[in-house]
């Protein structure tokens, strides 16, 4: 088939789609002056504050990498560390007002860009794709690193 009707197997389709989404995400991050990891951090924290260990598990980062990422975000004024009310040895990472504003702008722009990837699909195909991806994510217990949105 031609370029627009290329048939792929599940593996090639998922891998190539992930590269495509990652490229769009990286482009969006660059335009907002963020690294991909900073963009992920901000999007995760939009949902709620996280403790460092939960944040590391959600982002798939080792403690030292996460500490550096959070330190850089603190220096930029995007997040702050707050004491955990239940454990005085632990902290929660929380978006600052500036961080929340940037996160919301970045998130909205990135959602539009990713959504645009499927503009050539008719609504029933988009709905079926969303349902199938939702099953894959759910069955593999993928952490919420990007808030769920339903675009119609």
Q: What is the helix (H) or strand (E) element at residue 35, kind and residue range? A: none
- CA-CA-CA-CA torsion for 103, 137, 20, 93, nearest 10 degrees? 20
7-24 residue pLDDT tens: 889 999 999 999 999 999
Question: How many angstroms separate the CA atoms of 6 and 3, rounded?
Answer: 5
The pLDDT of 46-73, averaged and rounded, is: 94
CB 49 within 8 A of CB 82: yes
Q: What percent of the chain has a predicted confidence (pLDDT) above 90? A: 79
What range does the domain containing 67 cover? Answer: 16-139
pTM of the prediction? 0.84
The owner of tokens 């079926």 is 128
Cα 30-24-17 angle, rounded to 5 deg = 150
pLDDT of residue 150: 46
**pLDDT at 142 > cutoff 90:** no
Does residue 88 sit within a domain?
yes
Q: Is the pLDDT of residue 93 over 80?
A: yes
Task: Determine, yes or no, domain membership for 1.
Answer: no
Look at residue 151 and tell me if it is in a domain: no
Q: Does some domain include residue 118?
A: yes
Residue 100 inside a domain? The answer is yes
In a domain, 152, yes or no: no
Number of H helices, E strands in the chain: 6, 3
Average pLDDT for the chain: 90
Domain-located, residue 148: no
Number of structural domains (the chain) is 1
Q: What does the pLDDT read at residue 1?
A: 43
Please report, for the domain that includes residue 122, its CATH number: 1.10.10.10
92 three-class SS: strand
Residue 29 is assigned to a structural domain of this protein: yes
């Amino acid at each position: 088939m031609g370029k627009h009707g290329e048939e792929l197997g599940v593996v090639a389709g998922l891998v190539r789609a992930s590269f495509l989404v990652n490229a769009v995400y990286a482009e969006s991050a660059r335009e907002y002056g963020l690294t991909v990891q900073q963009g992920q951090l901000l999007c995760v924290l939009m949902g709620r504050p996280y403790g460092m260990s939960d944040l590391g598990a959600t982002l798939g980062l080792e403690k030292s990498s996460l500490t550096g990422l959070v330190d850089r975000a603190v220096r930029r004024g995007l997040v702050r560390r707050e004491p955990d009310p239940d454990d005085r040895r632990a902290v929660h990472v929380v978006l600052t007002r500036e961080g929340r504003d940037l996160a919301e702008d970045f998130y909205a722009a990135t959602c539009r860009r990713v959504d645009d990837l499927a503009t050539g699909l008719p609504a029933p195909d988009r709905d079926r794709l969303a349902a199938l991806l939702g099953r894959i994510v759910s069955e593999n217990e993928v952490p919420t690193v990007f808030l769920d949105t339903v675009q119609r």
